[in-house]
Amino acid sequence: MQQPRIIQRSLPDRWQLPDLPALLQRIYAARGVTDSAELQLTLKNLQSYHSLKGLQPALDLLQQALERQWRVLVVGDFDVDGATSTAVAIRALRSMGLQQVDYLVPNRFDFGYGLTPELVAVAIPMRPDLIITVDNGIAAVAGVAAARQQGIRVLVTDHHLPGEQLPEAEAIINPNQPGCEFPSKAACGCGVIFYLMLALKSRLASVGFFNARGWPEPNLAELLDLVALATVADVVPLDYNNRILVEQGLRRIRAGRCQPGIRALLEVAGRDANAVVAADFGFVVGPRLNAAGRLDDMALGIECLLTEQPQLAVQMAAQLDELNRDRRQIEASMTADAERFLQQLEMTQACPAGVCLFNQEWHQGVIGILASRIKDKVYRPVIAFAPGDDGNLKGSARSIAGLHMRDALDLLDKRYPGLMLKFGGHAMAAGLTLQAGGFERFSQAFASVCEELLTPAALDQIIEVDGELSAEEFSLGLAEQLRWASPWGQGFPEPVFSGRFTLVQQRLVGAKHLKMVVQPESTDLLLDAIWFNVDISQWPSPQKQAQLVFQLDVNDFRGRRSVQLLVRHAVAG
């Protein structure tokens, strides 16, 4: 594969960010922040819920549920966004006085994704008066119909892109549904249900619901740690609204006001809750919660987020941590299989514009991570498949910047009707199901669609950086400042720099991580650097010089804090 091109992020013509160091001004400006008002991440600046389409019928339903004490069933999803959405819905409704609220999350191995007719059959014995979907439902046309045939009302809350047909639910809350004017289209599923709960609390307060019962109004800000976790872990773009949600959730955790489950998940990973940053959601808490849905049942993750007992939370977090260790082992084996296939492919032919991978032994709960890993290696849209328990093939897709994955699958479905049994998702990630035996035909069709939709330039991988650092900027102070400057994440990336370095020392640690001592060009500085998951066939390198792409990081070892480089890419020579 060709080396990525390293380019400096473009800057707007002007910006107004006074009282900030020049470097930080450039970093923010390159991410679209041109006015200091956009750095005020306070709750008063959150977008209002009033522009959500479908809000009034949804609130009517929920008000009736509370006044008449309906049995409410929350139907979630088996990932972090689904688990946190479920926890937010249940915690909020209970805090507003609903006594009979339970949840049902489909096991991915038995039911697949979302509210299906099969899941409705499981729900019927629970006798719900109202089903609320969270982080799913916008594509559940058949599932909603099945529920309504049984006299069960359905309220859909979701953030996924809708198909051509919407379910006939009593109400739909989804910023991405046609005609919805809510400005933050990047809201995750947990953010959507949180907004609906805010609106419900306001509605109930306005009609005297709490006063009539002598109840205090609940403080829904107590749920912001869950919303922040979901927003980062679901990899939705951190627009201004999402940055506020993440920042406010982080502040609650650092202040010791978080759910026992989140604190326990940080503890089992060895993270200090008082110093948590957004990256900890994506790389520490999120994978441990996701492991339950990938390998077992997400109910364990949801219970961890619902419990009020710290000791019980620690026990469940330990189980989730063990599941995550198992997931890593499975993933490592699957990645090795995929890399061997890619090496054979490269020896016989050029890598196609869209890559499909399948192995009869792969675990369907881990194919999403596998697709992401391989996508990063080949810089092509990738779909990884594994056999499902129903005899069909389950696929998980990951894309690159030049191709909208759901739109590509929709085009493929129109050209090859019946090839996919179902599909759905986002621009960068999607899921799908094929009939057994359909892999080869689908692989060819997918490669053809990708070749049509992707320009040659789109397959030219580009690494954007924030320029080079001067000698005095390789400092612990700047590293600390960048760490706390903003919640970094998807669409608002953590600052990355580049430069020429002398490789003074190189050694492998932990079998696949490269520990280095490096010297920036034209300086006498010696800096520690670490590069995780290197290609051990290429590194350590016999070359003594390299172009490094890196983040400025803080190494805290036995109470000694020092600056280190977190290497993201390197070109030796």
For domain 350-459, the CATH architecture is: Roll (3.10)
Q: How confident is the model at residue 465 (pLDDT cuts 50, 70, 90)?
A: very high
Selected residue with higher pLDDT from 514 and 106: 514
CA distance 406 to 383: 12
Class at the top of the CATH hierarchy for domain 5-33+463-572: mainly beta
Instruction: With both helix axes pointing from N to C terminus, report the angle between 80-95 and 286-295 in degrees, rounded to the nearest 10.
Output: 100
pLDDT (0 to 100) of residue 472: 94
Find where tokens 């949804």 sit: 58
Phi, psi of 101 (to 5 degrees): -135, 125
Q: What is the pLDDT of residue 391?
A: 85
More confident residue, 70 or 559: 70
Rounded to whole angstroms, the Cα distance separating 359 from 348 reads: 19
Q: Average pLDDT over the chain, rounded to whole?
A: 93
What 3-state class would DSSP assign to 567? strand
The residue type found at 439 is F
Domain with CATH 3.10.310.30 in the chain: 350-459
- Residue 390 pLDDT: 79
Domain with CATH 3.90.1640.30 in the chain: 49-321
Which phi and psi angles does 66 have, rounded to 5°? Answer: -75, -45
- Rounded Cα–Cα distance for residues 478 and 492 (Å): 19
User: Higher confidence at residue 2 or residue 318?
Assistant: 318
E runs forming strands in 234-392: 355-358, 382-387
User: What is the mean predicted confidence (pLDDT) over 372-396?
Assistant: 91
Residue whose structure tokens are 């500085």? 525
Mean pLDDT of 356-368: 93
Quick one: 453 exposed, middle or buried, by C-beta within 10 A (0-12, 13-18, 19+)?
middle
Residue 266 has pLDDT above 70, yes or no: yes
Q: Which residue has the higher pLDDT, 253 or 401?
A: 253
DSSP string, 384-429: EEEE-TTSSEEEEEE--TT--HHHHHHHHHHHSTTSEEEEEE-SSE
Residue 111 has pLDDT above 90, yes or no: no
Using the predicted structure, report yes or no on whether residue 432 has a pLDDT greater than 90: yes
Q: Please give the pLDDT value at position 2.
A: 67
Residues of the chain with CATH 2.40.50.460: 5-33+463-572
Give mean pLDDT, residues 167-181: 97
**What would the pLDDT profile of 509-529 be if each residue is shown by its tens digit?**
987 899 999 999 989 999 999
Residue 1 clears pLDDT 70, i.e. is over it: no
CA distances to 74, 148, 179, 195, 306 from 66, in Å: 14, 20, 28, 18, 20
Looking at residue 486, its pLDDT comes to 86
Q: What is the pLDDT of residue 346?
A: 65
State if pTM tops 0.85. yes
For residues 465-487, average pLDDT = 94
Fold of 49-321: inorganic pyrophosphatase (n-terminal core) (3.90.1640)
At 158 the pLDDT is 97
What is the band of 557 on the pLDDT scale with cuts at 50, 70, 90? confident
Q: What average pLDDT does this structure show over 292-310?
A: 92
Handedness of CA 534, 535, 541, 543 (dihedral sign): negative
Cβ(368)–Cβ(398) below 8 Å: yes
